[in-house]
Amino acid sequence: MIAMMASAAPTTLVHLSAVDLVIIAFYFALVLGIGFYLKRFAKTGEDFFLAGREMTAWVAGLAFVSANLGSLELLGWAGNAYQYGIMAAHWYWIGAIPAMVFLGIVMMPFYYISKTHSVPGYLKLRYGTEASALSAVTFAFMTILMSGVNMYAMAVVMEVVLGWNLHFSIIVSSLTVGVYVAAGGLFSAIFNEVLQFFLIWFGALLIPILGLVETGGWSGMVARIHERFPGQDFTHMWGPMSSASNNPMGVHWIAIVFGLAAVQSMGYWTTDFLVVQRVLSARDVRSAKLAPIIGSFFKMAVPLIVILPGLLGRAVLPFHLVPGNVAQPGQFKYDDVLPLMLARYCGPGLLGLGITALVAGFMAGMAGNVSAFATVWTYDIYRPYMRKDAPDAHYVSMGRWCTMIGLFVSIGTAYLVQYNKSMMDYVQALFGFFIAPLFGTVVLGMLWKRVSRMAGFWGLLAGVVTSVTVFLLMKFDPSWVKVFALSPLAQPLAQAMWQALWACVTCVVVTVLVTLVTKPKPDEELRGLVYALTEVPREVHTNWLHRPAVWGVAALVILVVLQIIFR
């Protein structure tokens, strides 16, 4: 069957040379070898799900960023940079750095001290089983959908660049990830993610370097874009956002600051267990606090390999790309811009390296989702509600089995992406469903000891229902876009910001109202779980160069400088 799917491949843009095939084959063999080698170190639940809590700040920090740097990011945000211009970089700067610093300084001590395996695990300690179960089920559902997006992203690369059949690409790549994660758990995922981090950078840097050479540098690229697309501003981040009608995203700066920076990004980087799990693997509290801050410096540089190729596509591609949900046979979609640029610039050897970088990105994204799904399913759904007193080896075995089951379910969800303009439109909507309301629940629980058990559950449920309702209304009746997004011009990414903001606000309001009419938990049950009742470890006798707060401030200063340069 696989042979038949492979033979049904469409026409290729390029052909791989022998050296390209060797590079790609070597990479697949390497990641599988790492997975089976590390299987010997993943014997207990602590090893399999949290890598034994032995990672240094640098390893955990690199894995933290790499888990978010999959082929979904590479293809999706390159496509959005083509569609919306440099405004897409907001998701990497104001939409990431403050949240990563906040995670390291404020939230990681609580996650780490409580020794939880997951964010739903923290909610169980703070609120009880109701809020924990709801967050675990919604998160497991989200990771299945997200892993499907990563499968689809990799298939796009293989289809556009190599002409491989979509179904063939999905099956081969997903099985490779499933084998090495099921073998070594988070140990295997983290070490492969660190390897993939460097492969992604070495391979993906080829496009911006060669593209800027062709266009004559940044100023030459900007001039070409203005010449080819005189009606819209694709090269400024803040200037066009005084009005939704002045930018291709149809967004006002209020949505960027409050919807993206204050809710979407805070929710993702502080409560999405896919990334938080990597930091929980750190060997001590200081390393856990420092890891996301280390990651923030690398995150600020990612637009070089993600956003810049999309802008270069506007400047050099001889044809226009179209939204994915309206593409006709023979037309290329927004999400195709990165593989198109790869085919434009890379010859034998370089093409193999570039393809390997995208494969590495797919592996990183898929590994992050399946390892997070395995942990949440095993520790937050299966153990508390299905089999409470099994030996530790049983839960490790369950983690391995549900890794493979989750992959097969994800294959079915991969095809849902085709019904959206771009991959990231779909992804940001998912974050609005599950992550935005969860952030309100977690932060209120950490900062306000008065929040009651049932307030956490009802607030979270109200936030999820609000988010889904707002999304469906805007999706199937465009007249609602003006109501919720405050402009009929708002594109899906802008709509997702407002969707997240409304969901979080609803969650907070309902949580506060229910708290005022219900009884809080006793203080003795909240020690180590809320700020007012927890002694947070501080680096009193540590050299200032090793203090997370110092580097967190440095990251924020660099962020401000970048906003001024590209305003």
- The span from the CA of 443 to the CA of 81, in Å, is 32
Q: What are the tens digits of pLDDT across the range 375-388?
A: 777 777 787 778 77
Residue 399 lies in a domain: yes
pLDDT (mean) for 447-465? 94
Q: What are the tens digits of pLDDT across the range 82-103?
A: 999 999 999 999 999 999 999 9
Q: What percent of the chain has pLDDT over 90?
A: 29
Number of domains in the chain: 1
Lowest mean pLDDT among 148-162, 228-242, 327-341: 148-162
Residue 489 lies in a domain: no
Residue 180, domain extent: 2-423
List of residues 6+ apart from 19 with CB closer than 8 A: 348, 349, 352
Residue 320 lies in a domain: yes
List of residues 6+ apart from 357 with CB closer than 8 A: 74, 199, 200, 201, 202, 203, 204
Label residue 49 by pLDDT band (50, 70, 90). Answer: very low
Label residue 53 by pLDDT band (50, 70, 90). Answer: low
Residue 7 lies in a domain: yes
**Is it the case that residue 267 has pLDDT exceeding 70?**
yes
Q: What percent of the chain has pLDDT over 70?
A: 79
**Is it the case that residue 182 has pLDDT exceeding 60?**
no
Burial of 492 (0-12, 13-18, 19+ CB in 10 A): buried
- Look at residue 433 in the predicted model and tell me its pLDDT: 84
Total-model pTM:
0.81
Indicate the average pLDDT of the chain: 80
Give residue 480's Cα distance to chain centre. 28
- Look at residue 423 in the predicted model and tell me its pLDDT: 75
Residue 275 lies in a domain: yes
Residue 278 lies in a domain: yes
Residue 121 lies in a domain: yes
Burial of 242 (0-12, 13-18, 19+ CB in 10 A): exposed
- The span from the CA of 494 to the CA of 172, in Å, is 35
pLDDT (mean) for 388-417? 74
Lowest mean pLDDT among 58-67, 216-225, 505-514: 58-67
- Ranges 57-66, 382-391, 399-408, 450-459, most confident: 450-459
Q: What are the tens digits of pLDDT across the range 190-239?
A: 565 666 677 777 777 888 999 999 999 999 999 999 998 887 788 889 98
**Is it the case that residue 426 has pLDDT exceeding 90?**
no
Concatenate the DSSP letters of all residues of 208-241 into one string: HHHHHHHHTHHHHHHHHHHHH-TTS--S-SSGGG
pLDDT (mean) for 306-321? 90
Residue 142's CATH number: 1.20.1730.10
**Is it the case that residue 501 has pLDDT exceeding 90?**
yes
Residue 522 lies in a domain: no
